[in-house]
Structure 1
């Protein structure tokens, strides 16, 4: 099949493309500004430029494709909910116009709550899902909670906070009550690829790993896998908005993205309709949280030794670590195409950037 990956240069897209290529599909990868050259597969796909907020551009970019994997979700714009609705409208319309026979959307697990009780992040995901479901084609939404893998936004927030909070971690007490079912990026792309090839399955399914645990337990699991000595100190008076602002300053992930994600931590994010019950288990079974974390940390990471975010060249990265976006590689590993904020910095480097200069 000819498969369009809308959002190919994003984290999940960068790991999905090599899986589709491995399965023998022709891939159309969309980009907004200029096609990234860093990924190992960049020369093996057809790049098409598209502004997802421009209906005509979306129709043109998706012309001739058999299936569409839609991975776009904005969090770094204050008006991201409206922009996401507009983009979803355009993709749903274009899917029918170009005659695509399959549309797969990668979303987030949505708790069974009234819309007014959902965070903007989760509500936006649900709105996009509902809009795409109106497309004149076979549509399936795969919902996930936290995706574990080097370079994943949620994983990098967890990694960087765990490293920078020190031995005694002050953790909001409410993070001990909500339950999450994380999924490795390896398993996420497996189910995305399976979904593209199975157009008879519609509606929504949840993509999760085998473990259910609280966010506090997840942080402890990370510390164990990373061999960090950490002691958690629950904080009872920790308003969500305050936690979001502090976390946004603590990590290298863009602050607006972090501040949009944090409110979702108060919800349970577990499977209601497990994709494994429909598609089956991947070979070897789904990765546990601990194993997914270990594999994400196992290879040397690109180190931003200088303040220049572009200082890490492709050659330098390739010399030190297999690329996580390579065909046949380990999706858990980092990739040279991952954002600069996903690269390791020492605590001292972080402090130099966080403290005001004289």
Structure 2
């Protein structure tokens, strides 16, 4: 099957491409700058395709000849992303219908049952999936909340909040339930949706455990062997928290603020609508939270994400964003190491030393 992967140079896309190649697919790697393909180990094994979501002609040309499209484009840190993402999805759906594309697979975000007070981030994801589900092309939508893996925006947010704050303030409204899922499980579920026949519909993907966001911070701290007491902070407005978290983590502000805003809602799998039921053949067993974190902090070789099949998709990649990464790592013997080479890092990791 000829599969067009949009967002192929992004976090999920760059790790998905080698899995699709391993499954025997021909991959059209869509990217705004097609010279970027050479930066990836799979660059010589794909067909780079120019793709710009603001240019309908490039979208039309990219989908010509594709059997399926994996849509991984989001613009959370770029102006009016709600309108931009909806219009891009409409252009992709139109081009898919025009060129007889057999299916669209879209990685969306968790959408709570109560849709009265959705953040722009969640509302945008919902609009995009509605565009695809309402088109004549069979569409499979996967809704993920927190994806655990080095380089994932949600994981990096957890990593930096824990590593950079000796004591963690927790706004009272942030004690909502989350159901994180490992990057490797997300990838294999997406790949399973590209089997012989399309399985249209909207499905939630979540991992093995449901916990609160503060509990997730504690789990990271435990694996990283860091002492991180927490205290509740009442009546703190969401915009203030979002800006503070962006300043602490030094990650893209628009993205961070959007993610923080989504923590007003429980982000758990809807009953009877789990992708892991419909696509159970995709994963033998889901990776647990602690193992996901450990593998994300370890430079190791568990299963294939590069062209040679030697890199764990949970691990960091050279092509991840410049803001990804932290000061805690785990060596291949399982020993936790803290990089305290700088005064700043030493003071944060071990405030009493």
Report the TM-score when normalising by structure 2. 0.88
Deviation by residue 1:291-340 (Cα, 9 ceiling, x = unmatched) = 1111001228xxxxxxxxxxxxxxxxxxxx99984142211011111011
The separation in 2 between residues aligned to 1:222 and 1:42, in whole angstroms, is 34
- 2:279 maps to what in 1? 279
Instruction: Give runs of aligned pairs for residues 137-176 of structure 1, distance below 5 A.
Output: 137-166=137-166, 168-176=167-175
- 1:267 maps to what in 2? 265
The separation in 1 between residues aligned to 2:192 and 2:107, in whole angstroms, is 13
SS, match of residue 3 in structure 1: strand
Deviation by residue 1:139-189 (Cα, 9 ceiling, x = unmatched) = 1101101110000011001101110011x211212222x111111110000
- 2:325 maps to what in 1? 343
Alpha-carbon shift at residue 135 of structure 1 (Å): 2.5
Q: Is the 8 A contact 1:95 1:135 kept in 2?
A: no
Alpha-carbon shift at residue 39 of structure 1 (Å): 1.9
- 1:237 maps to what in 2? 235
SS, match of residue 266 in structure 1: coil
Instruction: Give runs of aligned pairs for residues 90-239 of structure 1, distance below 5 A.
Output: 90-114=91-115, 116-166=116-166, 168-176=167-175, 178-197=176-195, 199-239=197-237
Alpha-carbon shift at residue 244 of structure 1 (Å): 0.1
Structure 1 alignment gaps of length 5 or more: 301-320, 352-358
The separation in 1 between residues aligned to 2:298 and 2:95, in whole angstroms, is 41
Deviation by residue 1:214-244 (Cα, 9 ceiling, x = unmatched) = 0011111111111111111111132211110
Residues 25, 257 of structure 1: alpha-carbon distance in 2 compared, 3 angstrom cutoff: same
The separation in 2 between residues aligned to 1:125 and 1:195, in whole angstroms, is 19
Alpha-carbon shift at residue 259 of structure 1 (Å): 1.1
Does structure 1 residue 80 correspond to structure 2 residue 88?
no
- 1:33 maps to what in 2? 33
Q: Is the 8 A contact 2:19 2:305 kept in 1?
A: no
- 2:351 maps to what in 1? none
- 1:251 maps to what in 2? 249
Residues 188, 283 of structure 1: alpha-carbon distance in 2 compared, 3 angstrom cutoff: closer
The separation in 1 between residues aligned to 2:196 and 2:82, in whole angstroms, is 30
- 1:333 maps to what in 2? 315
Q: Is the 8 A contact 1:299 1:322 kept in 2?
A: no
Query: Alignment RMSD, CA only?
Result: 2.0
Residues 70, 47 of structure 1: alpha-carbon distance in 2 compared, 3 angstrom cutoff: same
SS, match of residue 192 in structure 1: helix
Q: Is the 8 A contact 1:150 1:296 kept in 2?
A: yes
Q: Is the 8 A contact 2:18 2:304 kept in 1?
A: no
- 2:68 maps to what in 1? 67
Residues 291, 322 of structure 1: alpha-carbon distance in 2 compared, 3 angstrom cutoff: closer
Residues 225, 92 of structure 1: alpha-carbon distance in 2 compared, 3 angstrom cutoff: same
Residues matched between the structures, number:
328
SS, match of residue 323 in structure 2: helix
SS, match of residue 221 in structure 1: helix
SS, match of residue 299 in structure 1: coil
Deviation by residue 1:72-91 (Cα, 9 ceiling, x = unmatched) = 01111121001001100111
The separation in 1 between residues aligned to 2:324 and 2:343, in whole angstroms, is 14
Q: Is the 8 A contact 1:324 1:334 kept in 2?
A: no
The separation in 1 between residues aligned to 2:199 and 2:303, in whole angstroms, is 32
Residues 81, 283 of structure 1: alpha-carbon distance in 2 compared, 3 angstrom cutoff: closer
Report the TM-score when normalising by structure 1. 0.87
Q: Is the 8 A contact 2:2 2:68 kept in 1?
A: yes
The separation in 2 between residues aligned to 1:103 and 1:260, in whole angstroms, is 25
